[in-house]
Amino acid sequence: MVEIDDNLLAQFHDPRLALPLVRRLQDTVIKEPLRLMHVCGTHEHALAKAGLRSLLPPHMRLVAGPGCPVCVCPAGDIDLALQACAVSKVILTTFGDMFRVPSGDTSLEVKKAEGNDIRVVYSPWDAVNLARQNPGSEVVFMAVGFETTAGPIAASLLDDPPPNFSIISSLRLVPPALRLLLDSGDGTLDGFILPGHVSTVLGRTGYLFLETEYQVPGVIAGFEPLDLLRGILGLVSQIAQGPPFRVENLYKRAVSEEGNRKARELMARIFQTTDSNWRGIGRIPRSGLLLREEYSRLDAVSKFGLKYNQEAVDVLPGCICHLVIMGEAESEDCPLFGKQCTPRRPFGPCMVSSEGTCRARYQYRTV
Amino acid sequence: MCLAIPMKVAKIDGLRAVVVSGGIEKEIRLDLLEDVRVGEYVLIHTGYAIEKLDPEEALETIDLIKQVYQAGRSGLPEEHA
């Protein structure tokens, strides 16, 4: 029996094995210039950490798209959480990444410093348990994430949570964002590196619209340096060969053809899709998850009469997060990057989450 | 955000399980998967196993990469070969 141990995983970042992949990449003849996009914060983190972009030929660019759920969570959603934590006896819970994301001139971190009960949880299950342990309080969970996270959240909501538990849903779906990028773009996007862990839910078949409706190549890639190099090479090889373009799964140890059907079933039982606002992008049709009518008791927005603030400012003056999120600018193009905007004092959302593009670029920047 | 960690299933009790990796033990939920067995590898995200990992596929991927390595080896400078 093969063990997935450190010995096996170490091979996925062996520089000696990377070299021939890089050489193949450099030898592949393609049109110039080539613009590829990934849509995953974990991919950005891995790319920046291993310095893989420095290995790409100069005419080949791999830009970061809207792949960080924390970064695309609009100020209006955070404002709902800020309202909830001001309600008497509410314990607000959320993932650590959300804690410092700005909404106007405040954040959950600031509200906690002001005395509100805000707690970071690792799992939605922890938030439900907190509600069980505190029957005299109301526990509100700020639910942020893509498909990967929506599955666990759906499971925790279907596991008979107590009546003092509710959520603010800020869950979003990746395929509608890919459609928007292709529909609204200038046609210079040549292919997608598809997000490995979102793909565990969607499967390869979740992206077939890229083949049938858009004829754009896509490769599902894992997160080790060699996974990513192989993904880029797979994409470039397809482009070199020309159409018909297809969706290829190069992360087969984790992603199946059909994806995780059970996770999708649980999500569909409790959520319905809705048009959703993405920070820096705007409204994307059917890209958000809303609790179904029959589960409205779990909806903190109706439970506490929270009002959506349409005026909440998503992009502060001077910040170019909206361009970075769409892959239209690099973090380094921003005059605030590394100066007024650092992980210690983030100005825009892309610097907050550990998977924000600016944060990853800052953390692994070279001198 | 979508970070997921491969861990090995050590114990199962209904929808709860204990998984281990590098000496770390963690209690997780199995609500999203069917037929998980002790000894199998799963990807853990926010306290839930989101998918099983296939060790044979992992090995096959490495083998494919090694084939590229072997094919490219002859043309490489000595210190890299």
Residues of chain A contacting residue B54, judged by C-beta atoms under 8 Å apart: 252-254
Q: Is the pLDDT of residue A130 over 90?
A: yes
For B16-25, write each residue's pLDDT tens digit. Answer: 999 999 889 9
Tokens for A40, please give them: 């995953």
| Beta carbons within 8 Å of B54's beta carbon, 6+ residues apart | A252, A253, A254
Calculate how close chain B gets to A277, using CA atoms only, in Å: 19
Task: Determine the pLDDT at residue A206.
Answer: 98
Q: Within an 8 Å CB–CB cutoff, is residue B1 touching chain A?
A: yes
- DSSP-derived pairing of the beta strands A191-195 and A34-38: parallel
Q: What is the mean pLDDT of residues A14-26?
A: 90
pLDDT level of residue B44 (50, 70, 90 thresholds): very high
| Beta carbons within 8 Å of A175's beta carbon, 6+ residues apart | A202, A206, A207, A209
CB–CB contact A230 B29 (8 Å): no
Task: Determine the pLDDT at residue A30.
Answer: 82
The per-residue pLDDT of chain B, averaged, comes to: 88
Point out which residues pair with A193 in neighbouring strands.
Answer: A38, A219
For A211-230, write each residue's pLDDT tens digit. Answer: 999 999 999 999 999 999 99
Sign of CA dihedral A299, A300, A302, A306: negative
Task: Determine the pLDDT at residue A13.
Answer: 87
The answer to whether A304 and A258 have CB atoms below 8 angstroms apart is no
Q: Is the pLDDT of residue A4 over 50?
A: yes
CB–CB contact B3 A69 (8 Å): no
Task: Determine the pLDDT at residue B1.
Answer: 66
Q: Within an 8 Å CB–CB cutoff, is residue A355 touching chain B?
A: yes
Q: What is the mean pLDDT of residues A341-348?
A: 90
Q: What three-state secondary structure class fits A133?
A: helix
Q: What is the ipTM of this complex?
A: 0.94
Residues of chain A contacting residue B44, judged by C-beta atoms under 8 Å apart: none
CB–CB contact B80 A16 (8 Å): yes
CB–CB contact B51 A255 (8 Å): yes
Task: Determine the pLDDT at residue A7.
Answer: 83
Q: Is the pLDDT of residue A166 over 90?
A: yes
pTM, two decimals, is 0.94
Q: In CATH, what number is assigned to the domain containing residue B61?
A: 2.30.30.140
Calculate how close chain A gets to B25, using CA atoms only, in Å: 15
pLDDT level of residue B75 (50, 70, 90 thresholds): low
Q: Indicate the residue of A4, A148, A156 with minimum beta-carbon distance to B50.
A: A148
For A269-328, write each residue's pLDDT tens digit. Answer: 999 999 999 998 999 999 999 999 999 999 999 999 999 998 888 888 899 999 999 899
- DSSP-derived pairing of the beta strands A138-145 and A165-172: parallel
Calculate how close chain A gets to B38, using CA atoms only, in Å: 13
The tally of domains found in chain B comes to 1
Q: What is the mean pLDDT of residues A99-105?
A: 85
Q: What is the mean pLDDT of residues A13-18?
A: 90
Instruction: Give me the domain span that covers residue B67.
Output: 5-80
Distance, CA of A161 to CA of A144 (rounded, Å): 18
Residues of chain A contacting residue B47, judged by C-beta atoms under 8 Å apart: 122-126, 152
The per-residue pLDDT of chain A, averaged, comes to: 94
Task: Determine the pLDDT at residue B79.
Answer: 45
CB–CB contact A20 B62 (8 Å): no
Task: Determine the pLDDT at residue A103.
Answer: 84
How deeply is A151 buried, as exposed, middle or buried, from its count of CB atoms within 10 A (0-12, 13-18, 19+)? buried
pLDDT level of residue B80 (50, 70, 90 thresholds): very low
Residues of chain B contacting residue A23, judged by C-beta atoms under 8 Å apart: 72, 75
Q: What are residue A172's phi and psi, to 5 degrees? A: -135, 155
Residues of chain A contacting residue B43, judged by C-beta atoms under 8 Å apart: 197, 200, 254
Buried b (16+ CB within 10 A) or exposed e, A328-361: ebbbeebebbbeebebeebbbbbbbbbbbbbbbb
